């Protein structure tokens, strides 16, 4: 199996790459912007799991480069893990559109752009799978992060449509909905320890979903129930909460 990891410097992506390398002996294309970090990760995974791992430059928001980026991959991947994301600064984004644009670009437009290129190839070949990291933040808008949430919500809807389109070609699309993961994205935030997942736990959940044929996976599992409760709160009440 050859796996393309987009945003492969993400801590969660690193754990997923390790899981697929260990269990499937997957060859890895590790794609992201920080090539030094990526090369270290590639070297580490290659030695630890005795697989091929290659570091490749990829910028999710450089849309016009996506076609050439994908074309350069030989062999073509059997699966893609899309893990790049940008939490951004909600308050800054409220007063500075450039920050809002960065959030939407990194979390939604970049994913749309590159996944359309990949989907066309998988559709033509009738082969492949896509695992994409969205977020429970996309399930209901909250004042503390609704711009990031809106971008992730758009991504979740997009993935649902893509799954619907590719299903008849035997191409799977798995939507990953994490709650909180202990990564560099959340290290500055004060989040409840009991709700946090380690990247390795997320990787286990993703791999289990891959093996079992699930379409949507909440990680950790209890977020499915937390979000069910959050989504069921009437808007009249919800708008008065400080979330």
Ligand X SMILES: NC(=O)c1ccc[n+]([C@@H]2O[C@H](COP(=O)([O-])OP(=O)(O)OC[C@H]3O[C@@H](n4cnc5c(N)ncnc54)[C@H](OP(=O)(O)O)[C@@H]3O)[C@@H](O)[C@H]2O)c1
Q: Which stretch binds ligand X (CB under 6 A): 44-52, 67-75, 78-86, 93-101?
A: 78-86
Rounded to 5 degrees, φ, ψ at 9 are -80, -5
Work out whether the CA dihedral 112, 115, 121, 126 comes out positive or negative.
negative
Measured from the CB of residue 155, what is the shortest distance to ligand X in angstroms? 9
Question: Which residue, 42 or 60, has its beta carbon nearer to ligand X?
Answer: 60
User: Is-contact 25 45, C-beta < 8 A?
Assistant: no
The site that binds ligand X (CB under 6 A) totals a number of residues, namely 28
Which one of residues 18, 30, 45, 60 is an interface residue with ligand X (CB under 6 A)? 60
Contact call for residue 142 and ligand X (CB under 6 A):
no
Tell me the residue length of the chain.
243
Of 211, 230, 229, 208, the C-alpha closest to 219 is 208
95, 168, 184, 242: which one binds ligand X (CB under 6 A): 184
Q: Is 85 in the site for ligand X (CB under 6 A)?
A: yes
CA quadruple 41, 203, 219, 214: dihedral, nearest 10: 130
Give the binding range for ligand X (CB under 6 A) out of 18-26, 58-66, 222-230, 231-239: 58-66
Our finding on whether 83 is near ligand X (CB under 6 A) is yes
Tokens 């893509």 correspond to 162
CA distance 140 to 234: 12
How far is it, in rounded angstroms, from Cα 73 to Cα 83?
A: 18
Question: Considering only 9-17, 67-75, 115-123, 204-212, which stretch makes contact with ligand X by CB under 6 A?
Answer: 9-17
Least Cβ distance, residue 169 to ligand X (angstroms):
25
Which residues contact ligand X (rule: CB under 6 A)?
7, 9-13, 32-34, 58-61, 83-86, 106, 110, 133, 135, 178, 180-181, 183-186
């Amino acid at each position: 199996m050859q796996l393309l990891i987009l945003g492969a410097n993400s801590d969660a992506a690193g754990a997923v790459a390790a899981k697929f390398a260990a269990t499937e002996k997957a060859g890895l294309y590790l794609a992201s912007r920080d090539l030094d970090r990526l090369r270290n990760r590639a070297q580490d995974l290659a030695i630890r799991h005795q697989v091929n791992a290659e570091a490749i430059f990829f910028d999710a928001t450089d849309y016009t480069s996506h076609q050439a980026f994908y074309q350069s991959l030989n062999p073509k991947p059997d699966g893609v893990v899309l893990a790049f994301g940008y939490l951004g600064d909600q308050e800054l984004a409220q007063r500075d559109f450039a920050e809002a644009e960065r959030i939407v670009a990194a979390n939604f437009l970049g994913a749309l752009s590159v996944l359309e290129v990949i989907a066309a190839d998988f559709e033509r070949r009738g082969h492949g799978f896509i695992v994409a990291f969205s977020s429970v933040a996309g399930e209901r808008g909250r004042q503390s992060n609704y711009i990031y949430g809106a971008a992730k919500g758009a991504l979740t809807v997009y993935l649902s449509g893509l799954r619907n389109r590719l299903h008849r070609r035997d191409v799977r699309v798995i939507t990953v909905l994490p709650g909180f993961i202990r990564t560099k994205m959340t290290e500055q935030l004060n989040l409840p320890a009991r709700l946090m997942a380690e990247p390795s736990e997320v990787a286990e959940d993703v791999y289990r979903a891959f093996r079992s044929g699930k379409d949507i996976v909440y990680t950790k599992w209890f977020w499915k129930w937390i979000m069910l409760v959050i989504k069921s709160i009437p808007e009249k009440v919800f708008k008065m909460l400080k979330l």
